[in-house]
Amino acid sequence: MIATVGTRSAYGVFFKPLQSEFGWNRATTSGAFSLSMVMEGIAGAFMGGLNDRLGPRKVLTFCCILLGAGYLLMSKIGSIWQLYVLYGLVAGIGMSGSFVPLLSTVTRWFKTRRAIMTGIVAAGVGIGAIITPLVTNWLISLYDWRTSYLILGGVVLVICVCAAQFLKRDPSQIGQLPYGENKGSGLVLNRDAEGYTLREATRTRQLWLLIAMFLCSGFCSVTPMVHFVPHATDIGFSSATAANMLAVMGGASIAGNIVMGAVADKIGSRQVFIFSFIVMAVLILWLTSVAQAGMLYLFAAVFGFIMGGMYAVEAPLVAWLFGLKSHGLIYGINGIALTTGAAIGPFMAGYIFDVTASYHTAFLVCAAISIVGLVLMVLIRPTSKPGALPA
């Protein structure tokens, strides 16, 4: 997770070197990143379905080869279409093999302590977001951006392809039970029989509420994160101070992954989402009026903690509602909704700022979307079909 999704955060470090060499504006350069997010979401549903059938070893091997190749070939680009093809399409599809398949796999291996285990794995994203930009910036200062992409691609290929060879879809493949399964009941070698298929899930009210909720989650969690640094600099803070605040947000998300995962194992993933939407709405409303450095650091810490917690309990929530039969595919479909919200929200906020010269209205809209997500989560009730497992 550190080497795949974590390396995505390094794209911003390549911004100025790319602009300096090719003269592209920020909208053009950032468009490739937006395309990679869209492709990651769309392809993530397919990879989740393939993970249900083929397992993570084959899926991760294929996707990590794509991601590594995309980074390696980035060192050779000379035009904008190559940036969009290699980073937006190739690397974007490569990244799709990590988040959904990995968290879906962890979900299958744990019946109890499921949320904290997915939280620990998801923390790799935050760790990568802290480590990778620093390492990449150091590499660019030593060599150049092209050599840095070569090194990045080589590291991804070696680490991820090798690690993928040790992954198993579920413990039944090696004659074991998921952690927390009742050992007195004997080995359950066909756990795929438990839960819903995607077709069965589409006939439930819960799936459509969940898709709408995930769209709200992506919207209200990513939008403040993307526009936090511009907002902080607009109200008088230096870019270095704003970047430090953003780093606090990333570090707090790691703690949120683990702590909120542990809490979810006690009270349930649904309750964690309800609590998180409430806190997120209050925080974003508060952001419209706060201007002191200490308060902004506090916002970044609490917001990052809540955001990390929400990511940790996504996969367990899907398992609670629909079981494990088509967990990767159903989780991937909801992932499309999440990345769609994550794409719409920042664009909306940027557009509102261009029109009004302020983030005030954009943050109010974001808080309102958090409340919508809260209402949707409250409306979601457990499914009735046997096989859906505890959150």
Q: What integer pLDDT is reported at residue 130 of this predicted model?
A: 80
Q: 389 pLDDT band (50/70/90 cuts)?
A: very low
Residues 239 and 362 in one domain: yes
Does 363 score more than 70 pLDDT?
yes
Domains identified in the chain, total number: 2
Residues 289 and 319 in one domain: yes
In this prediction, residues 346-355 reach a mean pLDDT of 84
In this prediction, residues 373-379 reach a mean pLDDT of 96
Residues 90 and 215 in one domain: no
CA 162 – CA 145 distance, rounded (Å):
26
Has residue 212 been placed in a domain?
A: yes
Q: What integer pLDDT is reported at residue 2 of this predicted model?
A: 87
* DSSP codes of every residue in 69-101: HHHHHHTT--SHHHHIIIIIIIIHHHHTTTHHH
- Could you give the 3-state DSSP secondary structure of residue 110? strand
Q: Which of 126, 141, 173 is the last residue of a domain?
A: 173
Does 85 score more than 90 pLDDT?
yes
In this prediction, residues 168-186 reach a mean pLDDT of 76
CA 312 – CA 259 distance, rounded (Å):
9
In this prediction, residues 189-198 reach a mean pLDDT of 66
Does 366 score more than 90 pLDDT?
yes
In this prediction, residues 66-75 reach a mean pLDDT of 94
Q: 184 pLDDT band (50/70/90 cuts)?
A: low
Residues 137 and 246 in one domain: no
Does 387 score more than 50 pLDDT?
no
Has residue 391 been placed in a domain?
A: no
Q: Which of 119, 142, 173 is the last residue of a domain?
A: 173
Residues 54 and 167 in one domain: yes
Q: What integer pLDDT is reported at residue 391 of this predicted model?
A: 45
In the 8-state DSSP scheme, what is residue 46?
Answer: H
Residues 140 and 221 in one domain: no
In this prediction, residues 375-383 reach a mean pLDDT of 92
Residues 246 and 375 in one domain: yes
Pick the residue with more confidence: 133 or 113?
113
Q: What integer pLDDT is reported at residue 26 of this predicted model?
A: 64
Pick the residue with more confidence: 229 or 273?
273
Residue-number span of the structural domain to which 52 is assigned? 6-173
AA identity, residue 106: V
Has residue 255 been placed in a domain?
A: yes
Residues 111 and 207 in one domain: no
Q: Which of 173, 203, 231 is the last residue of a domain?
A: 173
Lowest-pLDDT range of 21-35, 109-123, 276-290 = 21-35
Does 232 score more than 90 pLDDT?
no
CATH number, domain with residue 39: 1.20.1250.20
Taking a C-beta distance cutoff of 8 angstroms, is the pair 155, 72 a contact?
Answer: no
Residues 203 and 151 in one domain: no
Residues 163 and 251 in one domain: no
Record the tokens describing residue 334, joined without a space: 């909801």
Residues 208 and 331 in one domain: yes
Sequence-distant (≥ 6) Cβ neighbours of residue 337 within 8 angstroms: 211, 212, 214, 215, 218
In this prediction, residues 282-305 reach a mean pLDDT of 92
Lowest-pLDDT range of 14-28, 51-65, 137-151, 278-292 = 14-28
Q: What integer pLDDT is reported at residue 183 of this predicted model?
A: 61
Does 43 score more than 70 pLDDT?
yes
Beta pairing partners, 179: 110
Does 386 score more than 50 pLDDT?
no
CA 305 – CA 259 distance, rounded (Å):
9
Sequence-distant (≥ 6) Cβ neighbours of residue 242 within 8 angstroms: 228, 229, 232, 233
Lowest-pLDDT range of 245-249, 262-266, 273-277 = 245-249
Half-sphere CA count of 94, side-chain side, radius 13 A:
28
Half-sphere CA count of 245, side-chain side, radius 13 A:
28
Q: 372 pLDDT band (50/70/90 cuts)?
A: very high
SS3 string of 247-261?
HHHHHHHHHHHHHHH
Has residue 384 been placed in a domain?
A: no
Q: 390 pLDDT band (50/70/90 cuts)?
A: very low
Longest pairwise C-alpha distance within the chain: 66
Residues 52 and 121 in one domain: yes
